[in-house]
């Protein structure tokens, strides 16, 4: 099969899966659903997370039964395939459980260990982000681009905090405090996938987080790269979603923010 044709089939399945998951978010949002706890005090999982995951996986497995899947709630579905789907059925579960409309379905598709496509869908705000390696990033089918700010002091940033306190030098609180003391606005939306998409769309100039999982960032980091931004770990090296640290920026403030995150003076 021709590669272009295969990619358009893959994209079709990806968007269909994102829509199926998003329909579950809409069905439960602001309604009643059961909630239980994972490890950590406020690390929640709701009935809607499970329903969305089931709907998403149903679509993928119907079209590609031999592809590998990694999904937050059900874990690894190992297959001997070069394609791997990385799913967060609801990113922003605490928001979702509180009726805060900043939550989404996030799905990334890897081919031979490289992110090929991603979709992040927030049905409550009617925002569908999509990116394909080498083909740019879109929001509701319109091309998006990162911002052009050149200094951290004039930037609007976003970050997130892990469910369990990270007590380490240059940890999340220390970096946050340093930026806030200088008057830099640093938001905390509660959904890493949306944080990344909003950097891609130029709403934020940068996003950093100290402890992410592959499903939080798989689709979103490709969105930033394809919108012209830069994504690295905290050493400034190639970003892999299988390690915890992520810095995503418009590219222009990247080195300065990297230095600040690593304890440099600001």
Contact footprint for ligand IPD (CB under 6 A): 88, 91-93, 160-162, 190-192, 209, 212, 216
Q: Shortest gap between Cβ of 45 and Ca ion (angstroms)? A: 8
Q: Alpha helices of the chain — where are they, by DSSP H? A: 3-28, 47-63, 93-97, 172-181, 192-200, 214-226, 254-261
From the list Ca ion, ligand IPD, none, which binds 212 (C-beta under 5 to 8 Å, kind-based)? ligand IPD
The C-alpha R_g of the chain, in whole angstroms, comes to 18
Nearer to ligand IPD (CB atom), residue 110 or residue 216: 216
When the beta carbons of 46 and 249 are compared against Ca ion, the nearer one is 46
Nearest-approach distance from CB 52 to ligand IPD, in angstroms: 11
By the rule CB under 5 A, 216 interacts with Ca ion = yes
Q: Are 261 and 207 in contact (CB under 8 A)?
A: no
Q: Which is nearer to ligand IPD, 191 or 249 (CB)?
A: 191
Owner of token pair 């690295």 = 232
Tell me whether residue 88 or residue 205 sits nearer to Ca ion (CB atom). 88
Q: Per CB under 5 A, which region of 12-20, 123-131, 134-142, 214-222 contacts Ca ion? A: 214-222
Judged by CB, which is closer to ligand IPD: 10, or 120?
A: 120
Exposed (0-12), middle (13-18) or buried (19+): which is 75, by Cβ within 10 Å? exposed
In the complex with ligand IPD, which residue's Cβ is closer, 88 or 225?
Answer: 88
DSSP 8-state assignment for residue 31: S
**In the complex, minimum distance from the CB of residue 209 to ligand IPD, in angstroms, rounded to a whole number:** 6
256: contact with Ca ion by CB under 5 A? no
Give buried/exposed letters for 204-214 (b at 16+ CB in 10 A, else e): bbbbbbbbbbb
Check binding of 24 to Ca ion (CB under 5 A).
no
For 169-197, give the DSSP string: TT-HHHHHHHHHHTT--EE--S-HHHHHH
Residue 7 C-beta: closest distance to Ca ion, Å: 26
Q: Cβ of residue 222: shortest distance to Ca ion, in angstroms?
A: 16
Buried b (16+ CB within 10 A) or exposed e, 228-266: bbbbbebeeeebebeebbbbbbbbbbbebbbebbeeeeb
For Ca ion, the binding residues (CB under 5 A) are 72, 88, 90-91, 216
């Amino acid at each position: 099969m021709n590669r272009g044709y295969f990619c358009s089939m893959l994209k079709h399945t990806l968007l269909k899966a994102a829509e199926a998951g998003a329909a579950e978010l809409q069905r439960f949002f602001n309604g009643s659903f059961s909630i239980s706890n994972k490890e950590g005090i406020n690390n929640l999982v709701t009935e809607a997370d499970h329903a969305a995951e089931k709907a998403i996986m149903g679509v993928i497995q119907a079209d590609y039964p031999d592809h590998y899947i990694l999904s937050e709630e059900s874990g690894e579905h190992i297959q001997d395939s070069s394609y791997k789907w990385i799913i967060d059925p609801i990113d922003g579960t605490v928001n979702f459980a509180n009726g805060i409309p900043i939550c989404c379905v996030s799905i990334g598709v890897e081919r031979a260990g490289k992110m090929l496509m991603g979709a992040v869908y927030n049905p409550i705000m009617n925002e569908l982000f999509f990116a394909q390696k080498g083909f740019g990033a879109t929001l509701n089918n319109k091309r998006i681009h990162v911002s052009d700010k050149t200094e951290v002091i004039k930037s609007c940033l976003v970050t997130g905090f892990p469910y369990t306190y990270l007590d380490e030098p240059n940890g999340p609180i220390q970096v946050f405090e340093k930026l806030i003391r200088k008057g830099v606005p640093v938001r905390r939306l509660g959904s890493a996938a949306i944080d990344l998409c909003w950097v891609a769309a130029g709403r934020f100039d940068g996003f950093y987080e100290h402890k992410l999982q592959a499903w939080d960032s798989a689709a979103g980091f490709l969105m930033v790269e394809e919108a012209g931004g830069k994504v690295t770990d905290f050493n400034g090296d190639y970003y892999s979603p299988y390690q915890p640290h992520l810095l995503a920026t418009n590219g222009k403030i990247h080195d300065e923010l990297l230095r600040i995150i690593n304890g440099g003076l600001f």
